[in-house]
Structure 1
Amino acid sequence: MAVFFAGLAEKKKKQEKKNGYEAMGMSLGMCFGAAVGTIFPEYIGVTLSMEMLVGLLVGMCVKKL
């Protein structure tokens, strides 16, 4: 059992290393969404969520080296 779970943990660790910049993209998207939201204050909720989604998509496309 220990060997099985150690193998799963190693596989998950390698998979996490291969992931892109999803969290960073979401964070930057929220910053840009807040900046756009200051221009259009009545749509701040829409701008935050849309820019966060765009940031997530961009972060998923960029892979770590």
Structure 2
Amino acid sequence: MLLDRETNFVSAMLTSIRVVTENPVVMLGWAAIISVTMLLSMIPAFLGLIFTLPILGHTTWHLYQRAVSPAEG
């Protein structure tokens, strides 16, 4: 959110808390996917992170756009 629009970190944190409280099952599922993917990526001497981090970053960006309403203006 800090990169997407001009806002302060307090607003970004409050938005994050609001999204988690509105969608706890989805957020726990996403946290589990991230945890398992990261653990599996670290097995081959951390080389899997080369592929995992960009994919998780891209996916997180799209999930953020769906969870947070677009900025006005």
TM-score interval (norm. to shorter) = 0.3 to 0.5
For the pair shown, which has the larger CA radius of gyration, 1 or 2? 1
TM-score normalised according to structure 2 size: 0.36
Q: Which has the higher helix share?
A: 1
